[in-house]
Amino acid sequence: MNIAVIAGDGIGRDVTAEAVKVLGALGEVTGRRPVLEHLPWGADHYLATGETLPANGYDLLRSFDAVLVGALGDPRVPDNRHARDILLGTRFELDLYVNFRPVKLIADALCPLKDRGTKDVDFVVFRENTEGVYVSVGGRFKAGTEDEVAIQEEINTWKGVHRIIRHAFEYAAAHGLTKVCMADKSNAMQQGHALWQRVFKEVAAGYPGITATHQYIDALAMFLVKDPGQYQVIVTNNLFGDIITDIGGALQGGLGMAASGNLHPGKTSLFEPVHGSAPPLAGKNVANPIGAILSTALMLDYLGHDHEARIVERAVSDAVAAGATTTDIGGTLGTSAVGDTIVRAVKSAR
Ligand SMILES: NC(=O)c1ccc[n+]([C@@H]2O[C@H](COP(=O)([O-])OP(=O)(O)OC[C@H]3O[C@@H](n4cnc5c(N)ncnc54)[C@H](O)[C@@H]3O)[C@@H](O)[C@H]2O)c1
């Protein structure tokens, strides 16, 4: 495995250091050491050089099997230019159209909902990752005045909508799941989301063994809290997926627990925790590294190393069961001590 590592900014660096330790331990256990190349891209690099990423940056990323990212975002770069180029740019340039975000509660004690537990929180979200309102199409007229007009277009293409919905059904079929729920706002957004309605019905017709349902995104946000057990697979657009997977993070115990993959099946893909760079926590050895470590498990799965992925997941579950966690989820340990605990569990695995 040749892996590019972009630790990025803030707690991205803290949690990535632990994910890298876990990958190293796994290499010791299996005898197959991943080759990691650390790329310095992030706010510090941008502020020092004026470069967000080099001219051949996206081609360079394509030359790896996968990319592991921490988080990007720094108050010293208020327009977030570097994050846009490095993260959104990579999603667009490498055409990583699937944002895969599993929402799985790994211990009842972490559930924020009354009378719910691990059996109720176990679903996956497929967020469209290359279109929607994130494409920066639009503009501002009379900026800075009281007559300012700001237009931010939402782009929905048949190709983009079709491939993410089809991926959700394919995933369900491959994993023995029987329910796919599509969430949109087609009652209010009658142009773009009519396309989602049409394509969802067309694709669903090809999977008669899977029950296809639809919910408006606002209702789905409510049901995620009231009755998350009803979901197996959710598919939605870029913005809505971004928002509801933060609710998903909370259902897992906190944002620090949530992992994700940005995929173009068969091609170089990018793995990162769902959370951001949390500047106030940066460098304080308090960030929860589990989302980053579980993102490496998603990466291992994607690269066909499912045995290794299960070792990492079991090591994380054991650490959580033993209460060896950071304070955000009720433990007393620092970031690196949690990483060390998980490393020890990985090394004792067979
Ligand atoms: N994928 C990414 O790189 C990504 C995602 C989201 C936000 N951002 C950027 O991150 C910066 C901060 O954004 P934000 O504050 O809205 O979101 P954030 O995810 O950084 O933090 C939100 C809240 O969750 C907590 N939190 C997040 N991750 C945690 C962890 N691992 N352990 C413990 N607590 C954790 C933080 O303390 C904060 O209270 C911004 O610049 C934003 O643009 C980047």
Of these residues, 104, 179, 185, 347, which one is catalytic?
Answer: 185
CA dist., res. 258 & res. 105, Å (int) = 10
**Predicted local confidence at residue 12, as pLDDT:** 98
Q: Please, which residues have CB within 8 angstroms of residue 77's CB and are 6 or more apart in sequence?
A: 43, 46, 47, 83
Confirm whether 246 is a catalytic residue.
Answer: yes
> SS3 letters for the chain?
CEEEEEEECCHHHHHHHHHHHHHHHHHHHHCCCCEEEECCCCHHHHHHHCCCCCCCHHHHHHCCCEEEEEECCCCCCCCCHHHHHHHHHHHHHCCCCEEEEEEECCCHHHCCCCCCCCCCCEEEEEEECCCEHHHCCEEEECCCCCCCEEEECCECCHHHHHHHHHHHHHHHHHCCCCEEEEEECCCCCCCHHHHHHHHHHHHHCCCCCCEEEEEEHHHHHHHHHHCHHHCCEEEECHHHHHHHHHHHHHHCCCHHHCEEEEECCCCCEEEEECCCCCHHHCCCCCCCCHHHHHHHHHHHHHCCCHHHHHHHHHHHHHHHHCCCCEHHHCCCECHHHHHHHHHHHHHCCC
Query: If you measure from the C-alpha of residue 26 to the centroid of ligand 1, how many angstroms do you get, rounded to a whole number?
Result: 27
- For residue 21, how far is its CA from the centre of ligand 1 (angstroms)? 22
- Minimal-distance CA residue to ligand 1 atom 17: 276
Distance from Cα 282 to the centre of ligand 1, integer Å: 10
Ligand 1: which of 255, 284, 332 to mutate, judged by most atoms within 8 Å of the beta carbon?
Answer: 255
Residue ranges of the chain with per-residue pLDDT less than 70: 350
Respond yes or no: is residue 59 known to be catalytic. no
- Residue 88 CA to residue 82 CA, distance in Å, equals 10
Q: Return the biggest CA–CA distance within the chain.
A: 66
What per-residue confidence (pLDDT) applies to 330? 95
Ligand 1 first shell, C-beta below 6 A: 11, 15, 71-73, 80, 87, 255-256, 272, 275-278, 281, 287-288, 291, 328
CB–CB of 173/226 below 8 Å? no
- pLDDT for 180 equals 98
Q: Does the active-site annotation cover 242?
A: yes
CA of 113 to the centre of ligand 1 (A): 22
Half-sphere exposure of 123 (CA within 13 A, CB side): 25
Output the pLDDT for position 68: 98
Active site (annotated) includes residue 207: no
The pLDDT score that the predictor gives to residue 32 is: 87
Q: How far apart are CA 277 and CA 270, in angstroms?
A: 17
Residue of 18, 72, 277 best suited for mutating to test ligand 1, as the one with most atoms within 8 Å of CB: 277
What distance in angstroms lies between residue 286's CA and the mean position of ligand 1's atoms?
A: 13
Q: What would the pLDDT profile of 260-308 be if each residue is shown by its tens digit?
A: 999 999 999 999 999 999 999 999 999 999 999 999 999 999 999 999 9
Nearest ligand 1 atom to the CA of 246 is 19
CA of 68 to the centre of ligand 1 (A): 17
Nearest CA residue ID for atom 4, ligand 1: 276
pLDDT of amino acid 109:
94
Q: Whose CA is nearest to atom 40 of ligand 1?
A: 73
